[in-house]
Amino acid sequence: MKQLRLLLLCICCFVSALAQTKKPFKVLALYENGGHHLAYSKRAVQWLNKLAAENNFTIDYLQRADSINEQLLSRYQLFIQLDYPPYSWGKQAEAAFEKYISSGKGGWIGFHHATLLGEFDGYGLWEWFYHFMGSIRFANYIATFASGKVNVEDTVHPCMKNVPASFLIPKEEWYTYDKSPRANVHVLASVDENSYSPDTKIKMGDHPVIWTNEQYKSRNVYIFMGHDPGLFDNQAYTQLFKNAIFWASGK
């Protein structure tokens, strides 16, 4: 029995050492460093840095999209679009990102502003990204904020591991779109508009807030919630975010 315990201890030590020596993966995050999302971005960076240190991956940051090219993206297994809109990227960056996703070069997680699709600030619609996000256009948003209950629809998806079947988001400026993306994407969760507090007339009916577009080679997931820094005190949200990182990066 003593020899068996010793053997089991040696196996555990070997497995632990193997995990620690495993080559880390690399993540690139593009985030907004100004405006009314600054507080969220700062909390996100703090949280991501801690998660990376504890889970054997490294993370680099960009605050502008104009340096994105194929060579840069080739270094990373995951691209996080953290509260950064799909316009003002420049043709080089757009082409590199399209190839990265369409060729399955790495995974992608988008948050909040990633569906700010339409004509904004003098920029036209990025047609490819429009289809990537389920062929939707931004229509309106709850500027005064509301709490809302998110209901998980695909409970077996890896992004939803250990995430409650429903959870409350205390503060968000819920977007509406010209139509639901459901016909073009795989919906993982939606918000119950009847749960909004305070109530509002800014609603769209079927309202997905987390989805993946399985028509593309790269693992990808869009998570709408991403305005309030308090989200990083929400265990359901941080579990979802963590799950998405490891799933989308193929780890």
pLDDT of residue 34: 75
Question: Rounded distance, CA 21 to CA 90, Å?
Answer: 39
Query: Where is average pLDDT lowest: 37-41, 196-200, 236-240?
Result: 37-41
pLDDT of residue 147: 98
List Cα–Cα distances, 61 to 3, 44, 104, 112, in angstroms: 50, 11, 21, 18
Are 31 and 61 spatial neighbours (Cβ–Cβ below 8 Å)?
A: yes
The pLDDT tens digits for 198-232 are: 999 999 999 999 999 999 999 999 999 999 999 99
Model pTM score = 0.90
pLDDT of residue 14: 43
Domains, in order of start, for the chain: 25-248 (3.40.50.880)
Q: What is the mean pLDDT of residues 50-55?
A: 97
Query: Where is average pLDDT lowest: 31-35, 69-73, 246-250?
Result: 31-35
Q: What is the mean pLDDT of residues 121-129?
A: 96
pLDDT of residue 12: 46
Residue type, 169: I
Tokens of 177: 């779109």
pLDDT of residue 10: 44
Q: Which residue has the higher pLDDT, 133 or 15?
A: 133
Confidence of residue 23 (pLDDT cuts 50, 70, 90): low
Residue 11 pLDDT more than 90? no
Residue 18 pLDDT more than 70? no
pLDDT of residue 35: 75
The pLDDT tens digits for 154-171 are: 999 999 999 999 999 999
Confidence of residue 22 (pLDDT cuts 50, 70, 90): low
Residue 19 pLDDT more than 60? no
Q: Which residue has the higher pLDDT, 50 or 37?
A: 50
